[in-house]
Homo-oligomer: A and B are copies of this chain.
Amino acid sequence: MHAAEMKALIQLHDGYANTQTGPNIDDLSPFVALQDVPVPTPGDGQALIKVHLAAVNPSDIHFIKGEYGQPRVKGMPAGFEAVGQVVAGDTPLMGQRVSFFASASGAWAEYAMTDAARLIPCRPDLAETDAAGQLVNPLTAIAMFDLVKESGAESFVLNAAGSQLGKLLIVLGRDHGIAPIAVVRRAAQADMLRALGAADVIVTGEEDPVEAARAIFKASKPRILLDAVGDQVTADLFFAMPSHAVWVNYGKLATEAPRLTQLGQMIFQNKRIEGFWLTRWMQQVDPARIPAAFAEIQERFVTGKWTTDVAGIVPLSDAMTQLPQVLAKLDGKAFIDPRQ
């Protein structure tokens, strides 16, 4: 039997904040608090998971700040994804190690709850840090790369290319022979991204990045721009891309509102702007695509084709003070360990 009470990072607000401050955070205390709360009880079709390790993604920070596309629920634990062991609920996976998206009770807690049908069994040789974060970033990478493959182009463009997700996408591009054109802010990242498989690197901090991009785009004719930033440089790169380009926005690292300076390209060059949301993709995709994607994801991590860069693992009990420092590191992913 599991305990009746648990520690968790509890949301302090309901709904949305109507701010746009981006995914940076210096201080968690306006948004969550470490509290003792009852362990949730799984209802029909739900499973309770003892959390081993929870991932911290930009979307988690957007969410607790009230800037994500889903409303906050005051009193509920935060945290979207984790790995853990199934300890209760009506599921044949009882006792097994699973990755999961915590849809019913958040993952920054000793126990989390979710739909039993959405549990992802983990291979025993999959590392905890890979398992904790195998959903939000890796599945998004696989799903968005399907768009790249469907575009039929020989290359694609991605920004925030030094992010965890960016690196997964670059490796996918390299492995499938579709040249990744990586957009980053800092020149220091360029060599690492080239070593990973980026065919070209555009550094937005340098002079005239859009002109540099134009020459690259002219040669390799990318059609998909995978955008986690949403700033003016992104818009300018989109307008520098060839006909039929699609700007796929999936995140908002920048707080500025980009201008559509060449709206006529939508008409005459058949360009398009749309968004990608993993939650919607999972609802709409052929259900058979999802287990196939997780088989590929785990194989990639286990064989070293993909790696998880760990910025730091903070104990749940110290997360309020330690998490912002780990998140401030420019490379790698932060985790919360509720067993410490």
- In the complex the two chains form, is B270's CB within 8 Å of A272's CB? no
Name A264-299 residues within 8 Å CB distance of B. Answer: 264-277, 280
Contact of A276 among B69, B267, B275 (CB under 8 A): B267
Is A259 in the interface zone, CB < 8 Å from B? yes
In this assembly, does A65 line the interface, its C-beta being within 8 Å of a C-beta of chain B?
no
* Chain B positions within 8 Å of A273 at CB level: 260, 266, 272-274
Hey, which chain B residues are within 8 Å of A251, CB to CB? Answer: 267
| A257:B260 contact, CB within 8 angstroms | yes
- Does A66 reach chain B (CB closer than 8 Å)? no
A260: B residues at CB distance < 8 A: 230, 235, 257-260, 273
What is the count of identical protomers in the complex? 2
Tell which of A70, A250, A260 has the most Cβ of chain B within 10 Å.
A260
The CA-CA distance from A276 to B274 in the complex, in Å, is 16
Size bracket, chain A contacts: 20 to 34
What does the 1/0 interface line of A65-102 toward B look like (CB < 8 Å)?
00111100000000000000000000000000000000
A277 touches B272 (CB 8 A): no
Q: Which residues of B contact A257 (CB under 8 A)?
A: 259-261, 263
Task: Let me know if B268 and A69 touch, CB within 8 A.
Answer: yes
Q: Is A252 an interface residue (CB 8 A)?
A: yes
Q: A249 on the interface (CB 8 Å rule)?
A: yes
Whether A280 contacts B274 by the Cβ 8 Å rule is no
Interchain CB contact under 8 A, B274 and A69:
no
CB within 8 A of A275: which of B235, B271, B280? Answer: B271
Quick check: A265 and B261 within 8 Å, CB to CB? no
Q: How near does chain B come to A233, taking the closest CB pair, in angstroms? A: 14
Q: How far is the CA of A229 from the CA of B280 in the complex (A)?
A: 31
What is the bound-complex CA distance between A159 and B251, given in angstroms?
30
Closest to A234 in B: B263
**Across-interface contacts of A67 in B (CB, < 8 A):** 264
Contact of A250 with B275 in the complex, beta carbons under 8 Å: no
Write the chain B residue with the least CB distance to A67. B264
What is the chain B residue whose CB lies nearest that of A227?
Answer: B263
Q: How far is the CA of A69 from the CA of B267 in the complex (A)?
A: 8
Contact between A263 and B69 (Cβ–Cβ < 8 Å)?
Answer: no
Measured in the bound complex, the distance between the Cα atoms of B271 and A266 in whole Å is 15
A264 CA / B276 CA spacing, docked (Å): 10
B263–A270 contact, CB under 8 A?
no
> CA of A272 to CA of B247 in the docked complex: distance in angstroms?
10
Once the chains bind, are B275 and A69 in contact (CB under 8 Å)? no
How many Å lie between the Cα of A67 and that of B269 in the bound state? Answer: 14
- Residue of A249, A257, A266 with highest tally of chain B CB at under 10 A: A266
Pair A263/B277 contact, Cβ less than 8 Å = no
1/0 per residue, CB under 8 A from B, across A216-255: the answer is 0000000000000010000100000000000001111000
Min CB gap A159→B, angstroms: 13
In the complex, 22 of the A-B residue pairs with CB atoms within 8 angstroms, ordered by the A residue number, are A69-B264, A230-B260, A230-B263, A235-B260, A249-B263, A250-B267, A252-B263, A252-B264, A257-B259, A258-B263, A259-B259, A263-B275, A265-B275, A266-B273, A266-B274, A266-B275, A267-B276, A268-B277, A269-B275, A272-B274, A273-B273, A273-B274
CB-based closest 6 A-B pairs: A69-B268, A266-B275, A267-B275, A273-B273, A257-B259, A257-B261
